[in-house]
Amino acid sequence: MPAIQASMDNAVMTTNNLPRSTPEAQGVSSSAILAFIESVNRDIKYLHSFMLLRHGQVIAEGWWSPYQRDAQHMLFSLSKSFTSTAIGFAVQEGLLSINDAVLSFFPDDAPAEPSENLQAMKIRHILSMSGGQDVDTTERTVTQPDGNWARGFLSAPVPYAPGTHFVYNSAATYMASAILQKVTGQTLLDYLTPRLFAPLGIEGAWWESDPRGINVGGWGLNITTNDIAKFGQFYLQKGVWQGKRLLAEAWVNEATAFQVDNASSTNAANGSDWEQGYGYQFWRCQHNAYRGDGAFGQYCIVMPDQDAVIAITSGVDDMQAVLNKIWEHLLPAMQSAPLAEDPAAHSALQATMQALAIAPVVGPKTSTIAGELNGKIYRMESNPAHITSLHFDVRADAIALAFSHANGEYVLPLGLGKWIEGELNLFASSGRWNLRQLPCAGSAAWTSESTLSAIVMLTKAPFAPQLTCTFNGDAVQLDLAFDRFLGPAPELHMRGACN
């Protein structure tokens, strides 16, 4: 039996585990994948995970330590594609039509005199980000004092005729979630679990909710990279999983097709994968591909012409740069027939994938004052994090920062020359993000005799807070800043002194 046919037969799985194969057996050279990984490691910081599927088979996968295979990751706006999928199931079950008016679901939350454009807004328009708004209304929506996000969304001006103007608007996706909950009596997560998550073997998914218990839809879903890959393969297979149709092929085709023009000019072929058109919560890509994506580089890329899926989580500032690497290295490497096995190249690729890691903080493991810190308790001045005291446990290979907080005490371990797992618990829930009790991995070094510098990787998120402790006699200053954030990045500057 030809290798490619055998691989396709094996892709009809009897379990929910994705089958594995060598790259060459699926028509991709190991050396090309290795070149992609080396290029990413050289030019982009930081990818957290990568999975490449060809003909339904996983041919390369890796996680950059301290990120781990089994850990869930914040998807941000990649969540939108799952919300769209839920609407597809509801359409399939006759619960709603994408031509239903949005206002019809919220009679008690509508403005007293809704505009003609608001009255004309349909579900298809909020799915395609063409609801008629001229700005993203998310901040307006989520800051309603009474927690009624739907009313906040509907109160925003709608200056354009729906369907004529693209504006990326996460609040529009929230409205799709709210509509789904209206017609089903279930949250997005509860509705999708028996229809999508359970059949695909996606377990433990969770989704953030608004103050009224509605899953936020436009962001907030947390699943693993393997789950993202399954979702992409489900779409590549046009809504079929393990030989069983779950979602209508017509919906898959419609949701991933060009529904609205999102180019900034008449020239859409300008190398930007954000100007190739937009579907129902899916972006069109160059090379006839499409994707769901989320802030800081969370990707589910489906390449129908190549019969391939790519799942990536990351913490990057330039999302186009990651796609450019895919088009440069992986796209041309996908051949129509199996290649001769290349054990040396495959072995090199495997070794590289198994050794992927984000480097810990580089620098001396000790300083002249390090040994003096044990036993000292620094009483902190009033600060936004409500930290009342700070003390250190200094060892040869690690330093633990112990914080006394209004709600108790917690410890943040920092490895010296390595990562140590722990938990960051400096922030309360605020606005759209919950930064309490997030698992992390910390690393530190002495960047001067009196300065301890640390990076804390939030291992379920793309954020990497940077901590700096500066000592001056019996005084300490603790500074914390984020390298990236949505909206103004929180910074904390705290001072304390020993009694």
Closest CA to 227 of 69, 65, 385: 69
Provide the pLDDT for residue 487.
60
Give the separation between CA 287 and CA 174, rounded to whole angstroms.
30
* Interior angle at CA 396, CA 392 and CA 398, nearest 5: 50
Provide the pLDDT for residue 11.
40
Tokens of 441: 């991995």
Give the separation between CA 138 and CA 143, rounded to whole angstroms.
9
Give the separation between CA 216 and CA 207, rounded to whole angstroms.
7
Contact 349, 33 (CB under 8 A): yes
Contact 405, 386 (CB under 8 A): yes
Provide the pLDDT for residue 499.
73
Closest CA to 81 of 198, 247, 241, 245: 247
Provide the pLDDT for residue 9.
35
Pairing of strands 221-223, 206-207: antiparallel
Tokens of 273: 């994968």
Three-state DSSP state, 368 = coil
Provide the pLDDT for residue 436.
53
What are the pLDDT digits (tens) for 159-175? 999 999 999 999 999 99
Provide the pLDDT for residue 480.
86
Provide the pLDDT for residue 265.
65
Three-state DSSP state, 218 = coil
Provide the pLDDT for residue 410.
84
Beta bridge partners of 409: 404
Q: Which residues of the chain have pLDDT under 50?
A: 1-15, 268, 428-435
Contact 286, 273 (CB under 8 A): yes
